Structures are given as structure tokens and as C-alpha cells.
């Protein structure tokens, strides 16, 4: 049983409140990813689970046991840190064996377990090398093997891929996901990279300024962001946001900004008329060439399989749309556009909370 529960967990550093009453349940065997911008409290939250930091108030329960007063070593957790923290003077073999030596595991069993962990992470040929002789990706695997070998029921990882180059990071995502499939242990993983969270997590916890903004599956979060912050954090390019007001019109509601007016369908309760809102529309729901609002191309960004068109119109902020890679549009060209109403995200202008 490796369920983790955080109840109203608060962490203060002097006057600064880094974590402001977080409630969270990590299910047994799930791959949970905490994501958010720098300084939002991810590492602090993870460190309170591991025992490296004590909560100022609130409870942390692991496998049914309240662990607030347990030392890190008494919590049965495995940790992988951002800087890997490999011992430079030890061989890869001894780095992996370290935790088992501390626990005085008999030599024959130790050897068998070190080799199995190295095999699992595809680093068996490196056992005699030292960390300085390994590439970034290899060192990454050594750090993982060193954790796997101790058989933890929970893996805690703090930005373990941040030191790798882009291609390797993407490869390691797949490997970590495979590892999780195989071990079926609970993974709690911290990153500021939304794409990493999206691709690996069973569930994502989005944090901002010490507060949990939303918890949900990757697709739920992408399709139904609970706040404007979450909407802007996930997805590339960043979601388009238009500021305006809800108007009652022809028996339905419409969105009115400085330079456009669009019906909002029946997804919103009628009492929202008059409300200041931010209308969110992802680039894939901006339809170039279909609607009748005129715009003017600023920039084309080819992505290979498709292209992004950045364009301006009226007095609102410029928009970005996804179009066919073969588009003939060029900077300075005129276009017309509309929105696919299925892609509307309506947020309260003041609180940022989702309204539809
Ligand atoms: N030991 C400390 N003393 C004082 N303030 C701290 C301490 N540790 C963290 N903080 C502050 O708490 C806040 C949260 O820090 P934390 O390290 O949890 O952020 P993070 O989300 O992990 O960010 P990053 O993505 O940059 O690693 C920050 O404002 C940070 O400056
Ligand atoms: Mg951090």
C-alpha cells in the first residue's frame, strides 16, 4: 500500500508562505506529476513528502500512517534529485550498490540486485566506469538504477531530466513511463515542463503560488482547464485570450470585445450577461479562411506537419491559428477568420475561474 495523502499542508519560510494548504491524494501505483512555474512550491511539497522538510501545519499520511514526525529514511521512499547526486569517486556499480551496502544486504544478493537494476536501465556495460566517464543520459540512468535497486514502493523525482538535452529528455520520458508500467510503484514527479507532465502522467497536479489550481488527467486538463492560469500553462502555442464582456443578444449570450462579437451558444447560464470575461480559444480552434472577420498576417511559423499563423485584427491582442503546412499565406497578407465554438473556454476576468 503506497497511497499518499496530504491534508491542508502548509509550509512557511519565515514570513513567506511557500505552500498554502495543499490537499492531495496520490493513488497507489499511479504516476502523479506536479507541475507549475518556478517558485510555485513543487519542490517544497515533494520535500515534505520525503521528509526533507517538515510541514508548518497539516498532515502527511503514507500507506495509512501519519509520517509528519518520521525521518526520510523511515518512510520507505526512493528519491531521484535534479542534480542526480552521484558519488564521483565511486564506480557506477558502487553508486548503484550504495543503498544496499548501507542496509547491510548480503554480498551475493547485493550483486544480483545491482546487476538486475543495471540491466533494467540498459547500463550493464557501464558498471566499472565512474560518473565522470558517463554521458548525461547514462548518468540519469545510473541515478534511476540506484533508486530502483532499493525497491521503494514510492519514487519521488524532482526534475530528474532537467540536465539533459532536448532529444534525450524526450527519449527518457518514454523510458520512465515504461519503467512505471513495469514496476507499478507509485511515482510522484516534479517538473516545470507542461509537455513532460502531459506525456507521462496518469494525473497532473497544477500548482501556482503555493496553491493547487487543478488536479486531473492530462486530457481533462487540456480540454477543460479550471482556471485561466491552467489554460495558459498547457498547450503549445499558448492559448489565445480575448478580453471582453458577455452580452445578452437575440435570446442567447454573445461575447463582445473591442473589435468582434461572437455568439457563445448555450453553454453558459443566462445570468452571466454583463460579466467581464476572458475568452480562451486554442490555435486549433481558430479557423482561418472560414469566418468573416478580417485580419492581417504578421508572421508564419512552420512546424513541419503544420504551420502557425500569427495575425492582428481590430484593437484586440493578436491571435495565433494552426493551419496547413502548405499555407500560401505570407506576412502582410489579408485573411478572414472565425472560431469553432466547441473550443471556447470562458473565464471570469477577475478571478480567472472557468465559467463554462
Ligand atoms: N529554504 C528556504 N528558505 C526560504 N524560502 C524558500 C526555501 N525553500 C524554498 N523557498 C521559497 O519557497 C517558494 C517555493 O520554492 P520551491 O523550491 O518549492 O519552488 P519550485 O516550484 O520547486 O520551483 P522551481 O521550479 O524553480 O524548482 C519559493 O518562493 C522559494 O523562494
Ligand atoms: Mg524545484
Please name which ligand lies nearest the alpha carbon of 42. Answer: 1
Cα 250 versus chain centre, distance: 41
d(CA 310, CA 224): 24
pLDDT in tens, 173-183: 998 899 899 88
Q: Is the pTM of this model over 0.85?
A: yes
Counting from 1 in the atom list of ligand 1, the atom nearest the Cα of 41 is 18
Domains and CATH numbers, the chain: 4-231 (3.40.50.300), 240-348 (2.40.50.140)
Q: What is the pLDDT of residues 283-323, one digit of tens each?
A: 999 999 988 899 999 999 999 999 999 999 987 889 999 99
CA of 323 to the centre of ligand 2 (A): 36
Binding pocket residue ranges, ligand 1, CB within 6 Å: 13, 16, 18, 36, 38-44, 192
Query: Could you tell me the distance, in angstroms and rounded to a whole number, from the CA of residue 18 to the centre of ligand 1?
Result: 7
Mean pLDDT of 177-201: 94
Euclidean distance between CA atoms 159 and 101, whole angstroms: 27
What is the SS3 assignment for 166? helix
Task: Quote the ligand 2 centre to 149 CA distance (angstroms).
Answer: 25
CA–CA distances in Å: residue 41 to residues 34, 52, 54:
10, 14, 14
- For 311, other C-beta atoms within 10 Å of its C-beta total 23
pLDDT digits (tens, 9 = 90+) for 221-232: 999 999 999 999
Name the residue of 44, 55, 157 whose CB sits within 8 Å of the most ligand 1 atoms, as the mutation to test its pocket.
Answer: 44
Confidence of residue 72 (pLDDT cuts 50, 70, 90): confident
Q: Categorize the per-residue pLDDT at 5 as very low, low, confident or very high, splitting at 50, 70 and 90.
A: very high
Distance 38 CA to ligand 2 centre (A): 7
Ligand nearest to the CA of 40: 1
Amino acid at each position: 500500500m503506497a497511497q499518499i495523502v496530504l491534508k491542508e499542508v502548509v509550509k512557511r519560510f519565515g514570513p513567506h508562505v511557500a505552500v498554502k494548504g495543499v490537499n492531495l491524494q496520490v493513488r497507489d501505483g499511479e504516476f502523479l506529476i506536479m507541475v507549475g512555474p518556478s517558485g510555485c512550491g513543487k519542490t517544497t511539497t515533494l520535500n515534505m513528502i520525503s521528509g526533507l522538510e517538515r510541514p508548518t501545519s497539516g498532515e502527511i499520511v503514507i500507506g495509512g500512517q501519519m509520517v509528519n514526525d518520521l525521518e526520510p529514511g523511515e518512510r520507505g521512499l526512493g528519491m531521484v534529485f535534479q542534480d542526480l547526486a552521484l558519488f564521483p569517486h565511486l564506480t557506477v556499480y558502487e553508486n548503484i550498490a550504495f543503498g544496499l551496502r548501507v542496509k547491510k544486504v548480503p554480498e551475493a544478493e547485493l550483486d544480483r540486485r545491482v546487476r538486475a537494476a543495471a540491466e533494467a536501465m540498459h547500463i550493464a556495460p557501464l558498471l566499472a566506469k565512474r560518473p565522470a566517464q558517463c554521458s548525461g543520459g547514462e548518468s540519469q540512468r545510473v541515478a534511476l538504477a540506484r533508486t530502483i535497486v532499493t525497491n521503494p514502493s514510492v519514487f519521488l523525482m524532482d526534475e530528474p531530466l532537467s540536465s539533459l538535452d532536448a532529444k534525450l529528455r524526450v527519449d527518457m520520458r518514454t523510458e520512465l513511463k515504461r519503467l512505471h508500467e513495469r514496476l507499478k510503484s507509485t511515482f510522484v514527479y516534479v517538473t516545470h515542463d507542461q509537455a513532460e507532465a502531459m506525456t507521462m502522467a496518469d494525473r497532473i497536479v497544477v500548482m501556482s503560488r503555493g496553491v493547487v489550481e487543478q488536479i486531473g488527467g492530462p486530457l481533462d486538463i487540456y480540454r477543460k482547464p479550471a482556471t485561466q492560469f491552467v489554460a495558459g500553462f498547457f498547450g503549445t502555442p499558448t492559448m489565445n485570450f480575448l478580453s471582453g464582456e458577455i452580452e445578452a443578444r437575440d435570446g442567447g449570450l454573445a461575447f463582445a470585445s473591442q473589435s468582434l462579437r461572437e455568439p457563445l451558444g448555450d453553454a453558459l447560464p443566462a445570468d452571466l450577461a454583463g460579466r467581464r470575461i476572458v475568452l480562451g480559444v486554442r490555435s486549433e480552434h481558430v479557423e482561418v479562411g472560414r469566418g468573416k472577420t478580417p485580419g492581417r498576417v504578421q508572421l508564419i511559423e512552420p512546424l513541419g506537419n503544420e504551420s502557425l499563423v500569427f495575425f492582428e485584427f481590430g484593437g484586440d491582442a493578436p491571435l495565433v491559428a494552426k493551419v496547413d503546412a502548405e499555407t500560401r499565406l505570407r506576412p502582410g497578407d489579408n485573411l478572414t477568420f472565425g472560431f469553432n465554438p466547441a473550443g471556447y473556454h470562458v473565464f471570469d476576468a477577475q478571478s480567472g475561474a472557468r465559467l463554462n
